[in-house]
Amino acid sequence: MHEFALEMMDITKVFPGVKALDKVNFNVKKGEVHALVGENGAGKSTLMKILDGVYSSYDGEIRINGEKVLLRDTNDAKKNGISLIFQEFNLIPSLSVAENIYLGRLESNKLGVLNWKRIKESAADLFQALGFNISADAIVENLSIAEKQMVEIAKALSINARIIIMDEPTAALTQSEILKLFKIIRELKCKGVTIIYISHRLEEIFEITDTTTVLRDGQIIDTVKTCNTSKAEIIEKMVGRSIDREFPVCQKEIGETILEVKDLIRKDVLKEINFNLRAGEILGISGLVGSGRTELARTIFGADAVDSGELKIKNKVVRIYSTLQGKKNSVALVPEDRKDQGLVVNFSVLLNMTICNLKKVTFKNLILNKRKEKLVCGEYIKKLGVKTPSMQQKCINLSGGNQQKIVLAKWLFADADILILDEPTRGIDVGAKFEIYLLMHEMVKTGKSIIMISSELPEVIGMSDRILVMSEGKVKGCFEKKDINPELIMKAAIG
């Protein structure tokens, strides 16, 4: 018998402009629960997607039970006994539990008529063997999240999965459901199933896993026996890197409060958010994906409706119920999803540049002044250093950094004073990142204010004057520049 259930050797995966994984060696022993931890963007998802056959092009070798395998698609992964349980389930809500489990391989007789009795029986048998208390007839959409997860696990086992990857399995579970899940994991372990457990919640890792691997910037930092390490040590390994010189220095003055957020509530998403923002300030918002950061940004901008609470901009209470209102109150949102929300990528640089403030390039608000439009566009291309062959170039043909500059430019042209930047440097290479940071400094020097949401701790720490940490829709802490340290933020974010 081979010692390792899974060996991933020298795995390298390059996306345009970003090296997501760099010679990663990830080995998992048979029958163990192996934790994979790291910040957002460290490469965990990429590594697991390679294992699940989602990304078929990569460098390196994968062995299962010591045998080299090729994982070209998810079917290959399934054949090799690998099953990935995503944060969002792959179940069809309107179908029954039994149908979901055997979807795609429903048993039928020679005439093609399905044998429902057999299908239901085998689902029921499966649940009994696992000790799950779910009816095979239940419709998936009526199940709780924990139950849906059990269905996913049963589905994985029904195709003889020997390696199950769980991505943030406890994210939406209550405490008692988590205990139930752990019981199931231990039983699976006894049956010899290998589990890769991805979670941000470190205490869980100490409770359930045998080995922990820390991934950072696409590289394996360390693989240790979980019982031989500590929470503090893992956090240090997750974030520990030198953060000087990655960010420009800025001399500026911070002025009066420009935005006040009071008891902002959006049902199920934001819970009594309070904070303020001063002129010339960069306020960083840190927190895990799903902590309500993006939702907060969208609510202030007016892209999502607010349930209750008060917004004060320049000492005036405002009601922002649409993006137009947001714009009129000089709030801008540079969205995380640049290609689908920030720009119309199939349109030219010129068209995208002026769309937020068309009035300014018209005769009497009625007729477009195309000469002025071109002048404006040229001016902003120069000002922000956008590298494009011409104004007529379609944005889709530009690099991520240049696209981001255009999104920033269009809001500068719209005279926004409060800029909310959601992951402003995601998918942008190092050089362009620095340029974006410089632009941010330019903006705050002229008295504008920035709220920067980022998953990259060093970026938040390097750029912000203050940092707000969010978790589960709440503000979990607010740190002044002098008090900022990565461990503190990580602790607040993990809750």
Partner 1 sequence: MIKSENIAGSMDRFFISKIRYIFQNYAVALVLIAIVILVSLYSHSFLTIQNFDNILKQISVIGILSCGMTLVIISGGIDLSVGSIVSLAGVIVINQVNTMGVLPAIIVTLGTGALLGAISGLILAKIKGRLGEAFIITFGMMSVIASLTMIYSGGIFQQGSGTGLFGKIGLGVAPVIIFIVIIVITQFLLTNTPLGRVIYFLGGNIEATSMSGINVSFYRVMVFTLNGITAAAAAIVLTSRVGAASPAAGTGYELDAIAAVVVGGVSLSGGRGSMINTVLGVVVMGVLGNALNIMNISSYPQNIIKGIIIILAVGIDIWNKNRQWKV
| Site for partner 1, rule CB under 8 A | 303, 322-324, 326-328, 332-333, 335, 340-347, 351, 355-356, 358-359, 362, 365-368, 370, 396-397, 410, 414
Taking the complex as a whole, the smallest distance from the CB of residue 301 to partner 1 amounts, in Å, to 8
By beta-carbon proximity to partner 1, the closer residue of 101 and 333 is: 333
By beta-carbon proximity to partner 1, the closer residue of 114 and 396 is: 396
| Residue among 329, 308, 486 at smallest CA distance from 419 | 329
By beta-carbon proximity to partner 1, the closer residue of 356 and 457 is: 356
Taking the complex as a whole, the smallest distance from the CB of residue 141 to partner 1 amounts, in Å, to 22
Taking the complex as a whole, the smallest distance from the CB of residue 419 to partner 1 amounts, in Å, to 13
By beta-carbon proximity to partner 1, the closer residue of 81 and 302 is: 302
By beta-carbon proximity to partner 1, the closer residue of 165 and 334 is: 334
Q: Residue 195 forms beta bridges with which residues?
A: 33, 164
Taking the complex as a whole, the smallest distance from the CB of residue 25 to partner 1 amounts, in Å, to 35
By beta-carbon proximity to partner 1, the closer residue of 190 and 367 is: 367
Distance CA 97, CA 219 (A): 39
Tokens found for residue 239: 């974030």
User: Are 354 and 377 within 8 A, CB to CB?
Assistant: yes
Taking the complex as a whole, the smallest distance from the CB of residue 356 to partner 1 amounts, in Å, to 5
By beta-carbon proximity to partner 1, the closer residue of 33 and 313 is: 313
By beta-carbon proximity to partner 1, the closer residue of 183 and 370 is: 370
By beta-carbon proximity to partner 1, the closer residue of 133 and 346 is: 346
Distance CA 163, CA 193 (A): 6
Taking the complex as a whole, the smallest distance from the CB of residue 338 to partner 1 amounts, in Å, to 9
Taking the complex as a whole, the smallest distance from the CB of residue 405 to partner 1 amounts, in Å, to 16
Taking the complex as a whole, the smallest distance from the CB of residue 490 to partner 1 amounts, in Å, to 31
Taking the complex as a whole, the smallest distance from the CB of residue 41 to partner 1 amounts, in Å, to 23
